[in-house]
Amino acid sequence: MSTGQLASALAVHQSSASLLLNRLERRGLVRRLRSGHDRRVVHVRLTARGSALAAKAPEAAQGRLLHALDLMPAAEVGKLRAAVDRLVQAMEATDVVAPFFFSDG
């Protein structure tokens, strides 16, 4: 993965990704390699230590939630959506919209 691709995936500016990579590199978790085809491109690779740490890291909560919703029957997801809608109303958080988790498509 290039530094630019990482920045895009994290939704941050490339300079912010570079600062993060500096810290990770100092800790021995990643290494950066210049592309053989275009020396302006820098690829990022996990080191063995970085891979071991990543393997122990918990899955992102959002990813786990989406995976679990995909495994549930549609009727059950519908009930869950209705319950969340009621909770949002009870919290008087009427400006909250969560179509990403409960898409109708």
Question: Which pair of structure tokens corresponds to residue 91?
Answer: 């919290």
Vertex 9: Cα angle to 4 and 14 (nearest 5)? 35
Phi, psi for 31 (deg, rounded to 5): -135, 150
pTM of the model: 0.55
Q: What is the pLDDT along the chain (105 residues), one digit of tens a residue?
A: 888 898 888 888 889 999 999 999 999 999 999 888 888 888 999 999 999 999 888 777 777 788 888 899 999 999 998 998 888 888 877 665 655 455 554
Per DSSP, 28 falls in state: T
Question: Which pair of structure tokens corresponds to residue 82?
Answer: 């209705």
SS3 47: coil
The CA-atom distances, in angstroms, between 82 and each of 11, 35, 60, 95 are: 31, 50, 24, 16
The burial class, CB within 10 Å (0-12 / 13-18 / 19+), for 30 is buried
